[in-house]
């Protein structure tokens, strides 16, 4: 990884284009709108090489999947589910019903679950049971009536057993063998086989992300999550080898991941660079990691204030603080999807089992939101109950405002009651 001054680092942070392949994805969306399931079959064959007879995963397929998953794998799924459920349950308990009175008007605000949601779980060439856990568990806890899962099949039309087991264990109601832009479009539009959903959540590749962008006019989405991002803040107290391994853990996702080290010590920067060079020849997925770090990575050196400022400006998916006084530094981090404190809180662990959600904002959206949570599956329902004395009290001010906006019938609708 190249070593550069902090002052030059921001120019090297590349924004992911979530509108790539937009013409093709728009075509996919239009075809599914017109032709429904027949278009889905065509696109699954074309993009995934799958010849499907139907999309819905049967109960027998799910039962068979349990036979193919080891006891260790099932226990790991259950442990991840348990920790995430504990974390989200504590959050949900804070979201109670609130009632109050304003000048005789009673207002009640409550958090109500969405009716039906779609959880997209990436797959095809890989398998991500953890992504199934991260999206389904908070949806189930929120009380969503129907949870629909879409995940790509392999060329034989099969879903990885561990993904099926994770989805079923966490509470999916329907699981469909469908991936990419066609899966997102189908859940947003609805077909004979695939129900239309109120909201689509979950990570995905560039085609799925572009599809989420295009369907956001007809259904809600959680976020446009692009390639994985990690900033590691280090100083002369940091173990260079651990910093290198943490960078590898995120860079191995794909060749377009964005991993950065920001440090207050040039000596540490050199040591981390040496560790990366030494280790990269012996690690699995080294070509993906090498491409990612060469194209997108850097080690930036500057003073502490500049380092913190740069981290906030990048506003990445993860910021990992491996410095002296990490809690004090964490208080100054305001723009990150997830902040990880200390040498024993690696992002690799948070991706699976620490009780936090790994579906996180990227592309600088760490400025405005955090991880997927139970809140994403709830809406604020407001109920209001006014009275004639209240209308009398507001009548004068209402007339002033409605006259100002040239909307006289607003005032008349109130005046007639008085």
Taking the whole predicted model, whether its pTM rises above 0.85 is answered as: yes
Is the model's pLDDT at 183 over the cut of 80?
yes
User: What is the tens place of the pLDDT at every residue in 105-157?
Assistant: 999 999 999 999 999 999 866 789 999 999 999 999 999 999 999 999 998 89
How much is the pLDDT for 279? 96
pLDDT at res. 290 = 96
DSSP string computed for 151-217: E---TTS---HHHHHHHHHHT-SEEEE--HHHHHHHHHH--SSSPP-SEEE----HHHHHHHHHHTT
Out of 160, 275, 318, 358, pick the active-site residue.
Answer: 318
What span, in angstroms and rounded, lies between the C-alpha atoms of 71 and 418?
71
Distance between CA atoms of 178 and 121, rounded to whole angstroms? 10
Coil vs helix vs strand at 270: helix
- Cβ atoms of 362 and 228 closer than 8 Å: yes
Query: Considering the chain, what is the average pLDDT of its residues?
Result: 95
Q: What is the pLDDT of residue 226?
A: 84
pLDDT digits (tens, 9 = 90+) for 76-112: 999 999 999 999 999 999 999 999 999 899 999 999 9
How do beta strands 229-234 and 174-177 pair?
Answer: unpaired
405: annotated active-site residue: no
Contacts of 277 (CB under 8 A, 6+ apart): none
Q: Is 252 an annotated catalytic residue?
A: no
Which tens digits make up the pLDDT trace of 34-47? 999 999 999 999 99
Give the pLDDT band (50/70/90) at residue 30: very high
Q: Which helix (H) or strand (E) holds 385?
A: strand 378-385
Confidence at residue 125, expressed as pLDDT on a 0 to 100 scale = 60
Set 160, 229, 275, 317: catalytic member? 317
Which residues on neighbouring strands pair with residue 258, listed in sequence order? Answer: 229
């Amino acid at each position: 990884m190249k070593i550069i001054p902090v002052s030059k680092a921001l120019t090297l942070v590349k924004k992911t284009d979530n509108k790539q392949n937009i013409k093709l994805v728009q075509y996919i969306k239009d075809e599914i709108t017109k032709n429904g399931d027949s278009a889905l079959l065509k696109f699954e064959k074309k993009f995934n090489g799958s010849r499907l007879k139907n999309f819905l995963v049967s109960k027998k397929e799910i039962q068979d999947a349990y036979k193919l998953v080891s006891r260790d794998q099932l226990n790991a799924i259950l442990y991840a589910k348990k920790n995430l459920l504990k974390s989200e349950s504590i959050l949900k308990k804070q979201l109670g019903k609130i009632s109050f009175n304003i000048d005789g008007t009673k207002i009640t605000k409550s958090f109500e679950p969405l009716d039906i949601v779609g959880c997209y779980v990436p797959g095809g060439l890989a398998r991500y049971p953890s992504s199934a856990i991260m999206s389904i568990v908070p949806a189930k806890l929120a009380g969503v009536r129907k949870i629909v899962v879409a995940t790509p099949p392999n060329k034989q039309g099969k879903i990885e057993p561990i993904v099926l087991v994770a989805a079923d264990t966490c509470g999916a109601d329907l699981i469909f063998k469908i991936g990419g832009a066609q899966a997102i479009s189908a859940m947003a539009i609805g077909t004979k086989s695939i129900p239309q959903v109120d909201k689509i959540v979950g990570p995905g590749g560039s085609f799925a992300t572009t599809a989420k962008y295009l369907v956001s006019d007809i259904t809600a989405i959680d976020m446009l999550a692009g390639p994985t991002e990690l900033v590691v803040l280090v100083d002369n107290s940091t173990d260079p080898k651990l910093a290198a391994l943490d960078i590898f853990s995120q860079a191995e996702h794909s060749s377009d991941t964005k991993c950065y080290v920001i440090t207050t010590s040039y000596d540490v920067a050199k040591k981390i660079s040496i560790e990366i060079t030494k280790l990269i020849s012996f690690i699995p997925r080294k070509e993906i990691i090498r491409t990612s770090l060469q194209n997108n990575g850097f080690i930036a050196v500057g003073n502490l204030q500049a380092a913190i400022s740069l981290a906030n400006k990048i506003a990445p998916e993860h910021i990992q603080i491996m410095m002296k006084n990490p809690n004090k530094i964490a208080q100054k981090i305001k723009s990150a999807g997830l902040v990880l404190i200390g040498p024993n809180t690696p992002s690799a662990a948070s991706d699976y089992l620490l009780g936090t959600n790994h579906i996180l904002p990227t592309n600088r959206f760490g400025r405005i939101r955090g991880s997927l949570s139970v809140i994403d599956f709830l809406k604020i329902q407001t109920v209001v109950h006014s009275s004639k004395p209240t209308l009398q009290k507001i009548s004068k001010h209402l007339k002033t405002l409605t006259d100002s906006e040239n909307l006289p019938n607003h005032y008349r609708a109130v005046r007639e009651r008085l």
